[in-house]
Structure 1
């Protein structure tokens, strides 16, 4: 199917309308448990719906669920652009690992690394991804106004915007547009409906923003997309 109008029309309006609809994808299989996982001491691996994540094993889910906010962002982009069709989280993770976006050793899991992720997004999913090692707030706003989506590095505490975060960065959210002085975004680890599909005033968003991220131009590049089977190798446990 063709992309939605917000992904296909020439970028002439300023600001460009927010991307819509963008489905919510959480990095945990049970969104209703995220609050307890984040603040109640609940073991993220103790999730009765873990199979719904498409993890190949429970052990794989336990190992990776805290690390796949970037894959949740990517899946939301693809579901939006491709009319509800996208590989599952662990298929995306497998593909990203093949490009080096994550590594795993005796010290644990490292990543998501932006440059190999951008290569993966382009080569496998025909997404024009640009790495921004430094991104000012005005640059973020300009990208959103121009119709880009942005995977922005923020504090995970952005789900509690009334608090001052102890640090910035460490978590990825998907910014989808601007509306009346607010940044609209999807948070893969939001713990309530209004924090998974969220909006914050730009000045408050800046409190959590680490000043780096990946901008995604979702308009068609004209390249032929790979066959679906190229995306489906599973993560091994």
Structure 2
């Protein structure tokens, strides 16, 4: 039997500020420049929000962890900007953004937020229950089509979700880019989760 304390409920945050409009953003029925809540992201201007908002799934996961632990919701793009000196993201000359890069992210959250985090690779889905018996949360690399679990993804990885619980049968997670009905406390059979899971991510350990 686990001796870990019960986890507090984890607030949900979308990587786009208007979570209820996520489906329209995903389907490109709504341009990011028309997100009415963009200022809440911490972006210094609209162009910064448009450039970054589709790249900050990892920062949305971090925002959820910090909100669960401290009760404070940091603006998502503020978290992203603070991580850049550590190398968690690389801004490329052509305007592209590379990241989230795990090892620099681990250094960032340790230095700034005193979070103990560990990079995990070559982690089969079957090992998630054991991992979640030790970790408080797991930022798992999955294909973004996990928002549509009935589809077969073309590959694995490329997006981060925050796993809050795993058993021998199911995985429960918050998806920063889910459609409104696949955002918070999504529960999938372990075998279904495995179809999207790239066997890597970042474990956030208890205090």
TM-score, scaled relative to structure 2: 0.92
8 Å CA contact 1:150, 1:215 repeated in 2:
yes
Change (3 A) 1:155 1:144: same
Asked if 1:104 is matched to 2:97, the reply is no
Following superposition, the deviation at residue 53 of structure 1 comes to 1.5
In the comparison of the two structures, how many residue pairs are matched? Answer: 206
Distance 1:56 1:40, change over 3 A: closer
Do the aligned partners of residues 147 and 110 (structure 1) sit closer, same or farther apart at CA in structure 2, a change above 3 Å counting? closer
Asked if structure 2 preserves the Cα contact closer than 8 Å seen for 1:17 and 1:177, the reply is no
Task: Confirm or deny that 1:71 pairs with 2:62.
Answer: no
Match for residue 4 of structure 1? none
Residue 29 of structure 1 pairs with residue 17 of structure 2: yes
**Residue 91 of structure 1 corresponds to which residue in structure 2?**
78
Identify which of 181, 188, 195 aligns with 1:200.
188
Q: Distance in 1 between matches of 2:131 and 2:167?
A: 14
Matches within 5 A, 1:162-181: 162-178=150-166, 181=169
Match of 2:203 in 1: 215
- Residues 92-171 of structure 1 correspond to what in structure 2 (within 5 A)? 92-107=79-94, 108-171=96-159
Alignment correspondent of 2:38: 50
Instruction: Work out whether 1:189 is the aligned partner of 2:177.
Output: yes
Instruction: Look up the match of 1:231.
Output: none
Can you give the 5+ residue segments of structure 2 that lack an aligned partner in the other structure?
none
- Deviations for 1:88-115, whole angstroms, at most 9, x for unmatched residues? 2122111111211001122311111000
Cα RMSD for the two superposed structures = 1.8
SS at match of 1:151: strand
Unaligned runs of 5+ in 1: 1-11, 221-237
Give 1:130 deviation, angstroms.
0.5
Separation (CA, whole Å) in 1 of partners of 2:185 and 2:84: 27
Q: TM-score, normalised by structure 1?
A: 0.81
Deviation above 4 Å: which 4+ runs of structure 1?
none
Greater RCO (CA < 8 Å, at least 6 residues apart): 1
Q: Deviations over 1:171-207 (max 9, x none)?
A: 0000001357211100001111443331111111101
Give, in whole Å, the separation in 1 of the partners of 2:80 and 2:135: 26
